Amino acid sequence: MTESESPKPYHHGHLREQLLAAGEQALGEMPVEQVSLREIARRAGVSHAAPKHHFPSLGHLLGEVAARGYTRFAGALAAAADAAPDQSPQSRLLAMGRAYLRFAESNAAAYQLMFGQREPMVMTPNLITASYAAWSQLLEAVTAIVGSARAQGAALHVWSSVHGLSTLKLSGRVPPEMPGHNLEEQMLQMMLAGLENQ
């Protein structure tokens, strides 16, 4: 075996993070069913066996990519709520809704993995924790408006509404005659009015 044919070393600094970044990059450039550990290893510049030292399967790696997405997602929602102008529960929720739409558009690959196809993704402990934290954050924001008795259903309604618009936008299914920014604001205001009028 020549030097050029020798396998690449699997161990180098921050390999786990590099593999996760390579996985997210691959998801942004190809359908999830075409992503493989071998492809991720190639993008990370390591041997095809190297990912196994950190992830038992492709599904585990994808689960961790999704968990990182949820962590960034929750951080974006929290930052937006904390920057809301008057800090009323209504203003905070609207700010979170806007941040949700921005996150989906700016992090399409991670977002679609987080909320889309589950196979072969594994629900790793980190993914379960991160996704529940995002739900709890939304539940808390909605509870401040409608009270605890109606919070669960109201939070699911809010999440479904904003997720539905995000999905329509990502798939190019929003009718072309509907202006994007005004549509988003109208939908968010209608969503809030629905919560307050129930």
Query: What's the CA gap between 94 and 81, in Å, rounded?
Result: 8
Query: Residue 161 belongs to a domain with what CATH number?
Result: 1.10.357.10
For 88, the domain range is 58-197
Please check whether residues 145 and 191 belong to one and the same domain. yes
Please check whether residues 35 and 73 belong to one and the same domain. no
Please check whether residues 158 and 171 belong to one and the same domain. yes
Q: Cβ contacts of residue 85 below 8 Å, gap of 6+?
A: 91
Please check whether residues 48 and 69 belong to one and the same domain. no
Please check whether residues 164 and 127 belong to one and the same domain. yes
- Mean confidence (pLDDT) of the chain: 89
The confidence score (pLDDT) of residue 177 equals 77
Please check whether residues 66 and 32 belong to one and the same domain. no
Query: What's the CA gap between 20 and 18, in Å, rounded?
Result: 5
What angle is formed at CA 104 by the lines to CA 18 and CA 146, rounded to 5 degrees? 125
The confidence score (pLDDT) of residue 86 equals 92
- Nearest partner of 133 among 74, 64, 68, judged by Cα: 74
Q: How many domains does the chain have?
A: 2
Where a domain ends, among 17, 39, 54? 54
Please check whether residues 185 and 125 belong to one and the same domain. yes
Query: Residue 25 belongs to a domain with what CATH number?
Result: 1.10.10
Residue 123 and residue 63 in contact, taking contact as beta carbons nearer than 8 Å: yes
The confidence score (pLDDT) of residue 4 equals 43
14: left (phi over 0), alpha (psi -120 to 50) or beta: left
Each residue's pLDDT tens digit, 50-61: 998 899 999 999
The confidence score (pLDDT) of residue 180 equals 60
The confidence score (pLDDT) of residue 105 equals 93
Please check whether residues 66 and 138 belong to one and the same domain. yes
Confidence of residue 5 (pLDDT cuts 50, 70, 90): very low
User: Which is higher by pLDDT, 33 or 179?
Assistant: 33
Please check whether residues 23 and 112 belong to one and the same domain. no
Q: Is the pLDDT of residue 133 over 70?
A: yes
Please check whether residues 24 and 75 belong to one and the same domain. no
Please check whether residues 119 and 167 belong to one and the same domain. yes
Each residue's pLDDT tens digit, 97-118: 999 999 999 999 889 999 976 6
Q: Is the pLDDT of residue 62 over 60?
A: yes
Please check whether residues 31 and 63 belong to one and the same domain. no
